[in-house]
Chains A and B, each alone.
Chain A
């Protein structure tokens, strides 16, 4: 589904990703772990086309089609979704208006007619229950005044509304208490389909107790330096990253 080859990306002239390779197939859950500053968030930003980042080398293909030249909105309509580490507050834009515009753009792209107000509200109600999102929140401005946990739930709610084929969760667990973590993780699991894939970016094993990964990668210094099964996450939890980063530095020289 997603193939990344020799990806180099930089921001303000500073190279962050330095030759990253990754293959994610339909139905798989991949976890990407790694120390701070290793490039995890950059990878997610580049995948959704954040214009602040520049791809300087390499290629990304999604469902066999090249992705790097696509606008963020095209990527979304093609089925890629990012749950933001820091969801943005947009005062004055209501959740309802925001989501209706987004959903109808997706429908337009698929050649479907826009939803009526009634159909849309029904869909909203159904999807809100997936993440137990307070129904009052959707009447407010996007993320404005939401607590940290509410913002993350709102991300998963949007994911439920847009039904992406590839979901990228960028530190969705950060800032969540145990209950919120469970609700968010259950939401993600509930949305899982055999044809879909998920990339989970996280620092902690904790989230992976709920969202079981098939493959675990360690990202360090802009490259994936180790790939393994779920047991790799446990190993990292007990040993930290030091042993890997040293290994990686040695193999570089």
Chain B
């Protein structure tokens, strides 16, 4: 970690010079926090299976100035989910590319670069940026705040409904090992609605970037947000994300995170249900084989009465893959009539894959409905035999069962085009055909 402290000291000017003053104004505090906490220690209660310091110990390069705008991602990277009719953005090595070909947005909506937003709307930026991620002394969030130079902002004013899905495609990589820090800020004011899809890729199978990503989401009263995330990255990639979500009264959120291929991924979620009758659905699925590792940490805070949360995470592991899931649900003393459900189901395809699952419910109110369930096992032998007895070969039967295992997570997606595309990608993934998403068109 010392190398990063030194690097910040020596390169402070370079980091600041291309960024908005409002963005730079958060670095000093982040520096203090990071110097104090460092990366989250491992093993520690919330980091049992991810050693961040070890993952980031190599000498990574930084992209300190926005790259030239010459790359045409539509040509370099064809990613086209049919029937999505999306507002498209590309975020290459942490920097949002300028896009001109999107349809005009409704009045008052901002969909674009973090850096531009900080310049154009400093008062909004200062009101929201880092207010959730910086709430606690979190070494990883502080690290991101320290170095981040760009990212993406979606701002939807009161009662505006953004019909089109925003598709944000992250592409990271390059010839040397690089560390990429990006930031996503989503602000939905009261009654606003939006859908955001983040497709996270590495530029090719050989690239080995480390990405830190901090997402902050504010869902105002009655706001609705669907947030889908799809990771397909290279075997040597490292991805560390922190998602900080705050929901006001009667807001609805769906968060669905799907890992189709990766190297080492750690996804953190903290969801604060801060207004009555807020509802959140947090879904996730990971398919991991070879030596892939995927670690998910979720914390749902029921802060006020009458909120609902529902969690479903499914892992399909094979070879020597490792999966971890930790699900914390904290029901505050006055959060009466809370409903909180958590489910983690895991399928192991080999003797050498490992799954670590830890449900953790802390309930301090007495009038609540809470439940959790966890199972880890193999494919159902009886179902396999039944299918084979109808002439379906063992491999094909296993594939159908694995595919079926993912179906409830996929059904939780409300974009039909994405659902159909995912079914195809998942089937290809199980057949070992998938190399990259762009080949799927």
Contacts and interface: CB of A to CB of B under 8 A. Distances in A.
Interface of A: 48-52, 71-73, 75-77, 81-82, 84, 87-93, 97-99, 101-102, 105-106, 109, 141-142, 158, 162
Nearest to B382: A88
14 contacts: A50-B385, A71-B393, A72-B385, A72-B388, A73-B392, A82-B389, A88-B385, A90-B404, A92-B405, A92-B407, A93-B387, A105-B393, A109-B391, A141-B404
A60 B401 CA distance: 31
Nearest to A161: B390
B391 A105 contact: yes
A90 B407 contact: no
A47 to B, nearest CB: 10
Contacts of B381: 52
Interface in B345-397: 380-383, 385-394, 396
B400 interface: yes
B396 A101 contact: yes
Dominant SS at the B interface?
helix
B7 interface: no
Contacts of A82: 389
B403 interface: yes
A98 B406 CA distance: 16
A76 B391 contact: yes
Nearest to A103: B391
Q: Which of B391, B404, B408 has the most CB of A within 10 A?
A: B391
B393 A73 contact: yes
A68 B389 CA distance: 14
Nearest to B399: A101
B385 A162 contact: no
B390 A98 contact: yes
Contact of B391 (A52, A88, A142, A162): A162
4 closest Cβ contacts across the A-B interface?
A92-B404, A76-B391, A72-B388, A88-B386
B383 A105 contact: no
B383 A90 contact: yes
Contact of B392 (A48, A49, A92, A102): A102
Interface residues of B, number: 23
Nearest to B391: A76
Interface string B74-95: 0000000000000000000000
Contacts of A71: 388, 393-394
Contacts of A87: 386
A241 to B, nearest CB: 29
A64 to B, nearest CB: 21
Contacts of A84: 386, 389
A252 to B, nearest CB: 34
Given A72-B385, A105-B396, A91 B390 contact: no
A88 B397 CA distance: 13
A76 B393 contact: no
Given A72-B385, A88-B382, A102 B403 contact: no
Contacts of B394: 71, 73
Dominant SS at the A interface?
mixed
B409 to A, nearest CB: 11
A158 B390 CA distance: 8
Contacts of B406: 92
Contact of A162 (B390, B401, B403): B390
Given A49-B389, A71-B388, A99-B390, 8 more contacts: A75-B389, A87-B386, A90-B380, A91-B404, A92-B401, A92-B406, A98-B400, A102-B392
A45 to B, nearest CB: 9
A95 to B, nearest CB: 11
A75 to B, nearest CB: 8
B419 to A, nearest CB: 14
A62 B327 CA distance: 54
Nearest to A80: B389
Nearest to B410: A92
A176 to B, nearest CB: 20
A151 to B, nearest CB: 11
Given A105-B392, A105-B396, A162-B391, A93 B386 contact: no
Contacts of B401: 90, 92-93
Nearest to B393: A73
A71 B393 CA distance: 9
A99 B403 CA distance: 16
Contact of B404 (A49, A73, A93, A162): A93
B388 A93 contact: no
Contacts of B407: 92
Contact of B385 (A51, A89, A97, A101): A51
Given A88-B386, A98-B387, A93 B392 contact: no
Interface in B394-428: 394, 396, 400-401, 403-408
Contacts of A102: 387, 390-392
Nearest to A158: B390
Contacts of A88: 380, 382-383, 385-386
Given A73-B394, A92-B405, A92-B407, A101 B389 contact: no
A141 to B, nearest CB: 8
Nearest to B402: A92
Contacts of A91: 404
A86 to B, nearest CB: 9
Contacts of B400: 93, 97-98, 101
A105 B390 CA distance: 9
B36 to A, nearest CB: 48
Contacts of B390: 76, 98-99, 102, 158, 162
B406 to A, nearest CB: 8
Contacts of A158: 390
A88 B405 CA distance: 16
